[in-house]
């Protein structure tokens, strides 16, 4: 951690709460919002992994829409065109976790360049970050679009090295998704896993270098490491 020269964050589930769409889902399907959101997110992830294995890339927005269609079919919920458009649009406006604004401001004040590396398209990343007013916090918003494969493929993590013009050992990767943290650690990044809900880390042959419960613990961790 003493040699960290930049920090790269996952977006979905790490800085932004994917289940902030549950309320919007409940407007169309009362009492089913969180249930829909949980299945929707899981299928969205599965579709990115499967598409990568198939060598058939499509945009994150398309994967998100396909996952929503599956979810409603699976739950036998009628999904009209208006609801489909509205709910998919809600994914472009998901909300940051409560501590994110202050934590990013503190990290930026420490002089470390910050970036997002996301499975999202350029459009989706810009919309999500812009809607929350956090664009100015980041030196780079990096999308998988340029390599047309999703995380945890190593080609994606290499994009952060290129953007920062740093060796992977100098870039701290931060994610709340254990599969993503494992992929980044396998690539060679030092990794900080945010475990907000007491989850079990995936058995993928990797271990995060640091574990925190909330993003606001990261500035303190960096300061302690640099002064140790």
**pTM across the whole model:** 0.95
Q: What is the pLDDT of residue 224?
A: 83
Distance of CA 28 to the CA centre of its chain: 26
Q: What confidence tens digit (pLDDT) does each residue in 94-123 have? A: 999 999 999 999 999 999 999 999 999 999
Q: What is the pLDDT of residue 1?
A: 63
Q: What confidence tens digit (pLDDT) does each residue in 128-165 have? A: 999 999 999 999 999 999 999 999 999 999 999 999 99
In Å, what is the CA distance from 26 to each residue of 20, 45, 84, 220?
11, 22, 13, 38
Instruction: Write down all domains in the chain, each with its CATH number in brackets.
Output: 6-16+95-227 (3.40.50.1000), 18-93 (1.10.150.240)
Q: What is the pLDDT of residue 223?
A: 87
Active site residues: 10
């Amino acid at each position: 951690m003493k040699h960290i020269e930049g920090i790269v964050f996952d977006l979905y589930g790490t800085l932004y709460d994917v289940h902030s769409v549950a309320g919007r889902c409940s407007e169309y399907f009362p009492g089913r919002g969180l249930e829909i959101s949980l299945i929707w997110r899981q299928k969205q992830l599965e579709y990115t992994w499967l598409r990568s294995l198939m060598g058939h890339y499509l945009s994150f927005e398309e994967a998100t829409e396909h996952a929503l269609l599956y979810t409603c079919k699976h739950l036998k919920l009628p999904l009209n065109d208006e609801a489909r458009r509205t709910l998919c649009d809600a994914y472009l406006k998901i909300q940051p976790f409560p501590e994110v604004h202050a934590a990013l401001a503190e990290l930026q004040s420490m002089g470390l360049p910050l970036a997002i590396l996301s499975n999202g398209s350029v459009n989706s990343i810009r919309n999500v970050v812009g809607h929350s007013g956090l664009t100015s916090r980041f030196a780079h918003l990096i999308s998988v679009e340029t390599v047309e494969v999703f995380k945890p493929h190593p080609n994606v993590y290499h994009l952060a090295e290129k953007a920062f013009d740093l060796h992977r050992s100098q870039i701290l990767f931060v994610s709340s998704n254990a599969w993503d943290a494992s992929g980044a650690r396998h690539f060679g990044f030092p990794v900080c896993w945010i475990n907000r809900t007491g989850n079990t880390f995936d058995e993928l042959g990797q271990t995060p270098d640091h574990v925190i419960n909330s993003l606001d613990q990261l500035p303190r961790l960096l300061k302690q490491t640099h002064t140790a």
